[in-house]
Structure 1
Amino acid sequence: MRIEGAVPSQADVDAIVALVAKVQEVQGNEDVDGFISLFRKDAVWVTGHGKRLYGRDTIEAFTREVLPGAMKDSSATYEPDHLLFVRPDIAVVNVNQTYVERGGTTGSYGSPVYFLARDGSDWEIAAAQNTVVVEAD
């Protein structure tokens, strides 16, 4: 993973990598409450299909509709690729997302970007764009 910007502590890098791992875990387990706990109250989420969701309550309502049952035929891995510290308390992380079908066959790909803010010692998602990667033939 490439790290740029303001010089981070190793604890901050580790916390952000752990947050991305938590996204993978809670989505894979279809844990709506766990997923919502990762967001700031005023967060903005843009889905892979471009739907804009403003605020944790709206993100929660949407997630409660779409996450349960979403992982019955597949799972996804999340690997941090690039981490930019804009300021010591603001970071942007690009993630490589790979969908894996139940037979182990790699499916499609995503390229989420998470804008993270640290209040105190905890990093939270302030804004995110979950982009589906379209491969050109």
Structure 2
Amino acid sequence: MNATQQTDPNADLSAIRAVFGDLSDTWGRGDAAGFAALFTQDAQYTTNFGLTLQGRAQIEQGHRYVFEGPHRSAELVLLFGEEPQIRLVRPDVAIVLIGGGTSDGGEVSSRENSTRSTLTYVMLREPTGWRISMFQNTRRTPIPA
């Protein structure tokens, strides 16, 4: 994008929010290819336990395992009633913080071993739309007493 091109920040915010709907939809269908397609070819995806998947192919392969195994019936839950924090740092780059986790019953567990996380995304505007370039999943844990 060059300096003379104008963008509509409201349209960008709507398009970015739509990506999160697509993430939930593809997760719900167990669609690893569709889920991975929301990421750039060279994306980096870091799980809550520190494993980093490099590139769309690894993201797809890793999520195929997740969808067929440990989270087969899980639902991706985003927001927790919170608004995502979206910061357009340039017209073609956004940083997004959002609450999220997985659930087997529509509500993210409040157990000690909860899947509640703060999810950090770096998103890039590509010719095909907004895509996720980098993802970091950080587990929400109480501060030890």
**What TM-score does the superposition give when structure 1 sets the normalisation length?**
0.82
Q: Deviations over 1:91-129 (max 9, x none)?
A: 011111143332x55313111111000013500011111
Match of 1:20 in 2: 20
1:70: how far off? 3.9
Which of 85, 89, 100 is the equivalent residue of 1:86? Answer: 89
Q: Which runs of 5+ in 2 are unaligned?
A: 1-6
Higher RCO (C-alpha under 8 Å, 6+ residues apart): 1
Letter in 2 for 1:87: R
State how 1:1-137 maps to structure 2 within 5 Å.
9-79=9-79, 80-102=83-105, 104=106, 106-107=108-109, 108=114, 109-120=116-127, 122-136=129-143
Count matched residues: 130
Compared CA separation, residues 76 and 136, structure 1 to 2 (3 A) = farther
1:33: how far off? 1.3
Q: Provide the alpha-carbon RMSD of the alignment.
A: 2.1
| Max Rg structure | 2
Q: Match of 2:87, SS?
A: strand
Compared CA separation, residues 14 and 57, structure 1 to 2 (3 A) = same
Letter in 1 for 2:136: Q
Letter in 2 for 1:28: G
Tell me whether 55-64 or 30-39 shows the greater mean CA deviation: 55-64
Identical amino acids, percent of aligned pairs: 29
1:43: how far off? 0.6
**What TM-score does the superposition give when structure 2 sets the normalisation length?**
0.78
Native 8 Å contact 1:30 1:69 kept in 2:
no
Native 8 Å contact 1:110 1:131 kept in 2:
yes
Runs of 4+ more than 4 Å apart: none
